[in-house]
Amino acid sequence: MEYKGKLKDISTAELIKETRKKEGITQEVVAKKVGVTRQQISMYETGATVSTKRFIEIMNSMGYEVLIKVVKKDEKVERKEAKRLAREECKTGWQR
């Protein structure tokens, strides 16, 4: 998925729902692939807490890979520079 326009904060619930709708997949299909009920997918889409493992399973079921980058903050990098670097890295937005 590529996000065009300004980057915005998005909740896990919104990301699951928007991705599912964009891909034209029903809650039932996602639920079956992940091994949960349709009601559970609905709950995740409306804000119920979803574990990282389950979130990855849901996104994988729709054909997306979840990449998580964890980096130690370099004390020598100024906060402003860190923000600039983060914006530069995110220029392309979401990618499938």
Task: Tell me the residue range of the domain where 26 lies.
Answer: 12-89
How far are the Cα atoms of 4, 18, 51, 86 from residue 21, in angstroms, in the given order? Answer: 17, 5, 21, 28
Name which of 16, 22, 21 is nearest 36 in CA terms.
16
Which CATH number does the domain housing residue 25 bear?
1.10.260.40
Residues 77-87 pLDDT 10s: 556 666 666 66
Does the model's pTM come out above 0.75?
Answer: no
Q: Is residue 21 part of a domain?
A: yes
Residue corresponding to tokens 């860190």: 82
How many residues comprise the chain? 96
Residues 1-13 pLDDT 10s: 555 545 456 789 9
Number of domain units in the chain: 1
Q: Is residue 33 part of a domain?
A: yes
**pLDDT over threshold 90, residue 36:** yes
Q: Is residue 66 part of a domain?
A: yes
Q: Is residue 7 part of a domain?
A: no
Burial of 5 (0-12, 13-18, 19+ CB in 10 A): exposed
